[in-house]
C-alpha cells in the first residue's frame, strides 16, 4: 500500500467550505484553466474540475488495488481512503468503491484481468460527476457497485441476466443508502455499497469476499455532516 496521510476536506486550494448551487454556471478550473459548467465552488470562488480533482487519486487506486492480496473490500477501500490524494468527499470515490470490490473479487478467485478491469472501472466511474447523490438522486457509490458487477460478468445492454443483476445490485445499494438518511457522506455510502455488494455476490455467484465482524469508520471527525451514532459505522 502507498503511504497514507489524512487530507483536508473542502477546497483543494484553500481548504474553505464548498458551496453548492442548484443552478449550473460556467467556471474556470484553477488546475487546468479550462472552462466547465458546474454547480460547485468554494467560498472564495475556487473551482477544480473532476479531472484535476481525481488524477492523483486514480494513481493511488490503481497501485493499491494491484498490490494488495486482501480478500476484504472494506479493508482495501479504507486503506485507500486514508491516502492524502483521496478526499473526504469527491468523485474519486465513485471509482474507489468498485475498484476495491474488483481487487477483493480477484483475490477471492474471481476470473478477471485485474489491471484491465480497473482501467474499465476508472473510465466508467470517472463519468459520474461529484454531487450526483443530491443533484441526480443516484449515489455514485451504488453506481460504482453496479459497474463492478457489469465488469466481472462482461455485461452489455444485450446480456439479459447479468444486466438484470447489475440493476438489482445498484437498486439494492441505493435503497440501503437512502435508508440511512442525512447529508452526503462518501465514506458511509461507500461502506454501505461494499457491504451490500459482498452479500449480493455471495448469494448470486457463490464467491464470498471477506468482511470484518464490525465495519468501523475512521473519518467521523473530518465530516461536518456526520450522523454520529445514527451512522452504522460510527466508532464509539
Residue 1 within a domain: no
Are 136 and 158 contained in the same domain?
yes
Are 65 and 36 contained in the same domain?
no
Quote the CA–CA distance of 32 and 48 in Å, as a whole number.
8
3-state secondary structure of 74: helix
Give residue 41's domain range.
Answer: 8-48
Go through 28-57 and write b for each residue having 16 or more CB atoms within 10 A of its CB, e for each that does not: ebbbeeeebebbbbbeeebbbbbebbbeeb
Are 97 and 157 contained in the same domain?
yes
The percentage of residues in the chain with a pLDDT greater than 90, rounded to a whole number, is 77
The structural domain count of the chain equals 2
Quote the CA–CA distance of 126 and 56 in Å, as a whole number.
13
Q: Is the dihedral of CA 211, 147, 24, 27 positive or negative?
A: positive
Residue 159 half-sphere exposure toward CB, CA atoms < 13 A? 13
> Which residue is listed with cell 503511504?
3
Are 68 and 43 contained in the same domain?
no
Residues in Cβ contact with 214 at an 8 Å cutoff, skipping those fewer than 6 apart:
none
User: For 204-233, what is each residue's pLDDT tens digit?
Assistant: 999 999 999 999 999 998 888 899 999 999
- The whole-model pTM stands at 0.85
Are 208 and 179 contained in the same domain?
yes
User: For 189-207, what is each residue's pLDDT tens digit?
Assistant: 999 999 999 999 999 999 9
Amino acid at each position: 500500500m502507498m503511504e497514507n496521510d489524512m487530507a483536508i476536506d473542502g477546497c483543494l486550494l484553500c481548504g474553505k467550505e464548498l458551496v453548492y448551487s442548484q443552478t449550473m454556471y460556467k467556471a474556470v478550473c484553477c488546475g487546468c484553466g479550462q472552462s466547465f459548467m458546474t454547480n460547485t465552488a468554494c467560498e472564495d470562488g475556487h473551482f477544480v474540475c473532476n479531472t484535476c480533482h481525481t488524477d492523483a487519486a486514480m494513481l493511488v487506486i490503481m497501485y493499491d488495488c494491484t498490490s494488495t492480496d486482501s480478500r476484504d473490500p472494506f479493508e482495501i477501500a479504507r486503506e485507500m481512503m486514508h491516502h492524502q490524494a483521496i478526499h473526504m468527499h469527491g468523485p474519486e470515490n465513485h471509482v474507489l468503491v468498485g475498484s476495491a470490490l474488483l481487487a477483493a473479487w480477484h483475490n477471492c478467485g474471481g476470473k478477471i484481468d485485474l489491471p484491465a478491469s480497473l482501467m474499465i472501472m476508472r473510465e466508467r466511474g470517472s463519468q459520474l460527476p461529484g454531487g450526483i447523490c443530491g443533484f441526480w438522486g443516484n449515489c455514485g457509490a451504488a453506481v460504482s457497485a453496479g459497474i463492478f458487477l457489469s465488469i466481472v460478468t462482461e455485461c452489455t445492454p444485450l446480456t439479459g441476466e447479468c444486466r438484470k443483476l447489475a440493476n438489482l445490485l445498484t437498486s439494492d445499494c441505493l435503497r440501503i443508502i437512502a435508508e440511512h438518511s442525512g447529508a452526503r457522506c462518501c465514506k458511509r455510502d461507500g461502506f454501505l455499497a461494499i457491504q451490500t455488494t459482498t452479500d449480493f455476490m455471495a448469494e448470486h455467484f457463490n464467491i464470498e469476499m471477506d468482511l470484518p465482524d464490525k465495519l468501523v469508520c475512521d473519518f467521523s471527525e473530518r465530516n461536518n455532516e456526520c450522523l454520529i451514532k445514527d451512522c452504522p459505522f460510527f466508532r464509539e
